[in-house]
């Protein structure tokens, strides 16, 4: 099994409120094709930062 080491990112320094806003805004803009699907990488970084803070995000489709 391959283990991925998670490094601290800029997102780790942001407040939970700001992280949640970024998460939903980026997802919304990807769905509207305002942002490319390459931004899903940013979504994963945000999810990792939120998880390190002990919270999980619900995915709303």
Rounded average pLDDT per 10-residue block, the chain, 61 residues: 64 92 92 88 90 77 45
Please, are residues 42 and 26 in contact by the beta-carbon 8 Å criterion? yes
pLDDT at 15: 93
Cut 0.75: pTM above it: no
pLDDT at 3: 46
Instruction: Give the structural domain span for 38.
Output: 10-52
- 4 in a structural domain: no
- 37 in a structural domain: yes
- 40 in a structural domain: yes
- 44 in a structural domain: yes
Nearest alpha carbon to residue 54 among 21, 16, 26: 16
- 46 in a structural domain: yes
- 47 in a structural domain: yes
C-alpha distances (whole Å) from 18 to each of 3, 33, 51 are: 29, 22, 14
- 28 in a structural domain: yes
- 59 in a structural domain: no
User: Per the structure, how many domains does the chain have?
Assistant: 1
pLDDT at 18: 93
pLDDT at 6: 64
């Amino acid at each position: 099994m391959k283990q991925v080491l998670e490094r601290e990112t800029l997102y780790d320094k942001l407040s939970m409120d700001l992280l949640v806003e970024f998460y939903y805004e980026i997802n919304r803009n990807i769905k509207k094709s305002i942002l490319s699907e390459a931004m899903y990488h940013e979504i994963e970084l945000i999810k990792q930062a939120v998880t390190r803070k002990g919270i999980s995000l619900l995915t709303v489709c």
